[in-house]
Copies of this chain bind each other. A is one copy, B any other.
Amino acid sequence: MEKLKPRTLSGFMELLPAPQTQMERMMAILRETYELYGFTPLDTPLLESAEILLAKGGGESEKQIYRFQKGDSDLALRFDLTVPLAKYVALHAGELSFPFRRYQIGKVYRGERAQRGRFREFYQADIDIIGDGKLDILNEAEIPSIIYTIFRRLGLTRFVIRVNNRKLLNGFYALLGLTEKSGDIMRTVDKLDKIGADKVRVILLEDCGLAQEQADEILRFIAIKGTNAEVLEKLADWQGKNEVFDLGLSELTAVVKYLGAFGVPEENFAVDLTIARGLDYYTGTVYETTLLDHPEIGSVCSGGRYDSLAEYYTDRQLPGVGISIGLTRLFYVLGEQGMLNPNLPTAPADCLLLPMTEDVSAAVRLATELRKAGIRTQIYSEQKKFKAKMSYADKLGIPYVVFLGEDEIAQGVCSVKNLRTGEQVSLPAEGAAKLIREGISAMSDDTVIIEK
């Protein structure tokens, strides 16, 4: 028969078992942590009506979207998890309790130009808290504290969650008489890290049409540095002149205070007046997260506060705050940087059980006992040489091999060999389970990510 060369589409991540297990571990940590903070899991369709997904219209999303006809239907694959959330909340608002806290870890699709490290199918891990009409400021501090907890659990310490407030920026631009231009200015200032202050100044003067003094004032403002307390103190200079600015400053002050109460140390979060998030969507606190040793990656986790989640679908005022981790890209970058812990156990089983008798019923019963005791057990019953069997365990990184021959069966024991130490002991099923459980437990303290 003519064979078709097997291939996976370019821009679509498909992992081998060991890295897949690392990825699963990351996702499990995300799920557990989100749930610890009272978020409920959500799962919306990958496919939606194109009209629904593109309600907001225009922009990058429309160009990159996977859209097609099926029968009479104009369909599209979701390009983020926010639009499906907006649809979900608008559709089911009467059946939900607000604040509605949900997490969703799911694949999204963007037909970007394929290049190294860019994905067309990738996981986003989103959390959002949606209020009905109002939403307390505390939520804007809790969201980055969750990210802090997750990153620490993954094994990262060298990261900074950068926080700013759009009201503060809008108020500041209003003070300068630049309200009309604040969108353009924020998009320009957002590029500071990439292009530097001089080029930002040029764009502000030439493209945005600002006066010298206005540009200077903006550059002075965004150059404010120091501890969070120092930055907040310097911002007080502008206080009392504009209501929106004052509101933004009080929100930012509250977020800084509560981030501390949530146990996030100063070294992991910083007020940073240069970030704005390029989207008009955000209206309050905004976040970006950078890895200190890899600033070139850009933000690995971003989000913020918005006033209208679902204005395209409903009149109901649904303010919220959310943040998104680009999981596939993060995982790829961590791999590229050698930051995925090679010692993290990725074996599919805790022990490989080798029956040494023709009738394997006794081995089957032993496997059942071990599994009942929570030991992930694989019976290896293929007719292979002993060496091949041991090499199989070794290749998969299975830490224990259990032998069961006539002698062991007669004595009511099995032989357990620790492949890392070479140590071998004979003991009854219960003891074997205990030995393996303790050994595995000692190994699984390792984190997914290691910093060098």
Which residues on A are within 8 Å of B, measured CB to CB? 1, 3-9, 12-17, 20-21, 23-24, 35-49, 51-52, 55, 66, 68-71, 73, 75, 77, 86-88, 90-92, 95-97, 99, 101-102, 107, 109, 111, 121, 131, 134-136, 138-139, 141-142, 149, 257-258, 261-263, 310-315, 348-349, 352, 360-361, 364-365, 368, 371, 374-383, 392, 395-396
Contacts and interface: CB of A to CB of B under 8 A. Distances in A.
Copies of this chain held together in the complex: 2
Contact of A364 (B69, B90, B261): B261
A158 B379 CA distance: 28
Contact of A40 (B21, B38, B257): B21
B138 A379 contact: yes
12 contacts: A3-B313, A4-B312, A7-B49, A21-B41, A23-B43, A37-B371, A45-B121, A46-B46, A101-B348, A101-B378, A134-B382, A258-B364
A383 to B, nearest CB: 7
Contacts of A139: 381
A252 to B, nearest CB: 16
Contacts of A23: 43
B8 A48 contact: yes
B101 A3 contact: no
B17 A47 contact: no
A333 to B, nearest CB: 18
Contact of A396 (B97, B257, B313, B368): B97
A270 to B, nearest CB: 20
Contacts of A37: 371, 376-378
Given A4-B312, A17-B96, 8 more contacts: A6-B52, A6-B87, A7-B91, A8-B91, A20-B43, A66-B68, A99-B380, A262-B368
Given A134-B383, A257-B361, A20 B41 contact: yes
Contact of A52 (B7, B315, B352): B7
A139 to B, nearest CB: 7
7 nearest A-B residue pairs (beta carbon) = A38-B378, A68-B68, A38-B349, A40-B348, A261-B364, A12-B45, A6-B313
Contacts of A12: 45, 47
A41 B262 CA distance: 35
Contact of A1 (B16, B17, B311, B396): B311
A20 B314 CA distance: 24
Please indicate which of the listed interface residues A40, A69, A87 has the most CB atoms of chain B within 10 Å of its own CB: A40
Given A111-B70, A365-B261, A377 B131 contact: no
